[in-house]
Structure 1
Amino acid sequence: MTKIITAITLFVCSLLTAQSQYETGMQKAFGLWKEGKNTEASALFERIAAAEKTNWLPDYYVALVNTTAAFQTTDKTQLNLLLNKAQTALDIEMIKDQNNAELYVVQAMIYTAWIVSDPMINGMKYSAKVMEQYEKAEALAPNNPRVVFGKADFQMGGAKWTGIDTKPLCAEVDKAIELFATFKPESPFAPSWGLERALETQKNCKK
């Protein structure tokens, strides 16, 4: 009996240690990202993903870090590297779970980054794919603020080409902001970003 209790205690202790290492690693990675050290943050998220194979969040953040960095570069070689790394990480999680709206949002962002990098070549190629990803996300999580805002924001970005009325889209931005106020992440490291960008877009709607 003593051996069984000892074994259980050791098992519980190992779980707690693993959880602590995961939390410490994630916090450090977020810290690096906040400091603008995208490469270092991505590398740390990758290492965490390798150790946490059943947890979708580390790979999700590898994809998100590299996608957001891609929007900030005009270097084609660098952009290709960033978006390919983002896609590789996202694909790992997409294979495991096709019912996660947050993954579809990042996939839409990857396609959007390709469009922004070269609208003339990539606009026709990826625009429908972006909307397809948001529609899949919307079907899974219609009240997720990143889904609602992302879809509206993408359509607003293309309004100068499509000529669509942006008033209904601005109403969707307002809706997203309301959803951000009540949205509760599933865990401490689950996605909660997007409100700042939505508020900026709302200001532009009111000009």
Structure 2
Amino acid sequence: MKKYVLSLALVCISLISYGQSNYEKVMSEKIAKLEMCKTTEDYQMLANDFERIGKKETTQWLPSYYAAFAQIQKGRIQMRDGKMEGLSAYSEAAFKYLDQAESSAGKDNAEIHLLKKMAYSLSMMENPQQKYMTDGVKAAEELKIAEQLDSNNPRIALIKAEDMYFTPEQYGGSKTKGIDLFKEALNKFNTYKPKSSIDPSWGRGEAEYFISQAGK
């Protein structure tokens, strides 16, 4: 009887391990595709994929996190092309996923708070004059929370660098200071260790790009 119980326990452990390794394998494949996305359609397809994974892995926060990240990236592509109308729709879609992620990860997750900052900033850019005192203030609050939770996180330094670089000088921005912050972010990327192979690691390429453009 004891041998039967032991065998059953080992089978259960093996099944759990297999399920976890299969989850990480699928997530790794999808996360790798984030680096190759070029269009809003590419990001939407991945958002859908991460949403499907999240529905199966209901205790995991990362599928919803990456679905939110994909929605934010959709908005950033549109903003890059000078199309500011409708940015709040991407922000709202991101917050739907971030609420799901937070319900699994808890409220003290710096990566989630950083994406909230990015989502609020995205919404603000739809109409900066009208939304600065609402979404702009909320974005600053979320960035502050993220930094308090994980001051060494390179993505926090990266987003601070973006803000400094792209803000007009009359409003306190500076490309020179922005480059210095990108360098700070890169230094943090060189030492920061993600908690797992599928935890957030995005951003290094952007820091390297802006540093390479300095002085050109």
Pairing 1:155–2:156 present: no
Question: 1:68-93 CA deviation, whole Å, 9 max, x = no partner?
Answer: 1111123745x444322211110123
Q: Which residue pairs with 2:66 in the alignment?
A: 61
Question: 1:138-159 CA deviation, whole Å, 9 max, x = no partner?
Answer: 1111111111121232133223
Q: Which residue pairs with 1:101 in the alignment?
A: 110
Q: Which residue pairs with 2:31 in the alignment?
A: 30
Aligned length: 206
Alignment of 1:7-26 (within 5 A): 7-26=8-27
The answer to whether the 8 A contact 2:124-2:132 is kept is yes
Q: CA deviation at 1:109?
A: 0.8
Question: 1:2-25 CA deviation, whole Å, 9 max, x = no partner?
Answer: 221221122012112211331232
Structure 2 counterpart SS, 1:149: helix
Structure 1 residue identity aligned to 2:168: A
Q: CA deviation at 1:197?
A: 1.4
Alignment of 1:90-169 (within 5 A): 90-95=98-103, 96-164=105-173, 167-169=176-178
- Measure, in 2, the Cα distance between the counterparts of 1:201 and 1:129: 27
Q: Which residue pairs with 2:55 in the alignment?
A: 50
Pairing 1:175–2:191 present: no
In the superposition, the TM-score normalised over structure 1's length comes to 0.86
The answer to whether the 8 A contact 1:25-1:44 is kept is no
Structure 2 residue identity aligned to 1:175: E
Q: CA deviation at 1:169?
A: 4.2
Pairwise CA RMSD of aligned residues? 2.3
- Measure, in 1, the Cα distance between the counterparts of 2:165 and 2:84: 25
The answer to whether the 8 A contact 1:69-1:82 is kept is yes
Structure 2 counterpart SS, 1:202: helix
Query: Which of 178, 194, 203 is the aligned partner of 1:185?
Result: 194
Structure 2, unaligned runs of 5 or more:
none
Structure 2 residue identity aligned to 1:94: E
The answer to whether the 8 A contact 1:108-1:129 is kept is yes
Segments of 4+ in structure 1 off by > 4 A?
164-169
Q: CA deviation at 1:205?
A: 4.7
Judging changes above 3 Å, is the alpha-carbon distance between structure 1 residues 109 and 58 closer, same or farther for their aligned structure 2 residues? Answer: same
Structure 2 counterpart SS, 1:186: coil
- Percent identity reads 25
Structure 1, unaligned runs of 5 or more:
none
Question: 1:121-150 CA deviation, whole Å, 9 max, x = no partner?
Answer: 333432222221111111111111111121
- Measure, in 2, the Cα distance between the counterparts of 1:122 and 1:6: 61
The answer to whether the 8 A contact 2:161-2:179 is kept is yes
The answer to whether the 8 A contact 2:43-2:73 is kept is no
Judging changes above 3 Å, is the alpha-carbon distance between structure 1 residues 119 and 161 closer, same or farther for their aligned structure 2 residues? Answer: farther
Structure 1 counterpart SS, 2:151: coil
